[in-house]
């Protein structure tokens, strides 16, 4: 039985499972152009995909902002208040149904030692880690994670702050390495017929948008994403979200 909320909406079969809103792009009287981060990268990703003839506006699902009343349909007020510490790690600290695998530069993340306890599989990297080591660790640890805990759904936080030159991430992953990482994750998860939700997350260099678009094009070309065919059930659908994710 549906709850009273403005968030339920019918999505026509002609639309792709790509959720986007122009409001994701941050503008402030042109001052955003002076900032070192690309605050409009999500709009650029969509424009790149349009230029490649992969998407049109009619194929997108436009996101709707959830009000507090909408969120209270499925969450308690206490839970919503707790969303204000270290996002998902604190939120699911004692929830054994949730398995968190995290790959990160161990010198900068996570600063919250208590929240770190919630990470079931910690993949810690050194400053300047490059493609081969990174991709090997991602592949081996995803395989082990799926053996330990076969999920009902995977939420894939596909950050690009691992890109070489990112002053926050401190790693040295190439654009091709990021595209390959996304391919690895989708191949392994879809190979087990588990639905996957990908959020594009952090990473704000000026070239990030092009890399994300190239990765989506690669996933489409390999048949790992796309509109649902009659033979694919809703349980096995995959969705891409193009907003920032909650850290």
Residue 125 in domain? yes
Residue 4 in domain? no
Residue 95 in domain? yes
Question: What 3 state SS string does the chain have?
Answer: CCCCCCCCCCCCCCCCCEEECHHHCCCCCCHHHHCCCCCCHHHHHHHHHHHCCCCCHHHCEECCCCCHHHHCCCCCHHHHHHCCCCHHHHHCCCCCCCCCEEEEECCCCCCCHHHHCCCCEEEEECCCCCHHHHHHHHHHHHHHHHHHCCCCCEEEECCCCCECCCCCCCCCECHHHHHHHHHHHHHHHHCCCCCEEEECCCCCCCCHHHHHHHHHHHHHHCCCCCCCCCCCCHHHCEEEECCCCCC
Domain span holding position 102: 19-222
Quote the pLDDT of residue 239: 66
pLDDT in tens, 39-58: 788 899 999 999 999 999 99
Residue 39 in domain? yes
Total number of domains constituting the chain? 1
> Where residue 128 sits, what CATH number does that domain have?
3.40.800.20
Please give the model's pTM, rounded to 2 decimal places: 0.84
Residue 158 in domain? yes
Residue 3 in domain? no
Name the range with the highest mean pLDDT among 41-50, 106-115, 178-187.
178-187
pLDDT in tens, 141-180: 999 999 999 999 999 999 999 999 998 899 999 999 999 9
């Amino acid at each position: 039985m549906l709850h009273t909320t403005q968030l339920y909406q019918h999505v026509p079969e002609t639309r792709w499972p790509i959720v986007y809103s122009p409001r994701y792009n941050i503008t402030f009287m042109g001052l955003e152009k002076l900032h070192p981060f690309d605050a409009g990268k999500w709009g650029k990703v969509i424009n790149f995909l349009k230029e490649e003839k992969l998407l049109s506006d009619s194929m997108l699902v436009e996101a709707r902002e959830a009000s507090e009343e909408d969120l209270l349909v499925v969450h308690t007020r206490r839970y919503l208040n707790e969303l204000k510490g270290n996002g998902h790690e604190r939120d699911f600290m004692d929830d054994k149904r949730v398995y968190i695998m995290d790959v990160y530069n161990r010198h900068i993340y996570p600063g919250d030692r208590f929240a770190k306890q919630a990470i079931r599989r910690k993949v810690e990297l050194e400053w300047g880690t490059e493609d081969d080591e990174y991709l090997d660790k991602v592949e081996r640890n995803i395989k082990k994670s799926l053996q330990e805990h076969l999920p009902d759904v995977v939420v894939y936080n596909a950050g690009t702050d691992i890109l070489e030159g990112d002053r926050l991430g401190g790693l040295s992953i190439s654009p091709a390495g990021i595209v390959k990482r996304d391919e690895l994750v989708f191949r392994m998860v879809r190979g087990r017929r588990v639905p996957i939700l990908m959020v594009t997350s952090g990473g704000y260099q000026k070239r990030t948008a092009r890399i994300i678009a190239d990765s989506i094009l690669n996933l489409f070309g390999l048949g790992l994403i796309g509109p649902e065919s009659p033979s694919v059930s809703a349980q096995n659908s995959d969705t891409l979200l193009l907003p920032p994710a909650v850290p």
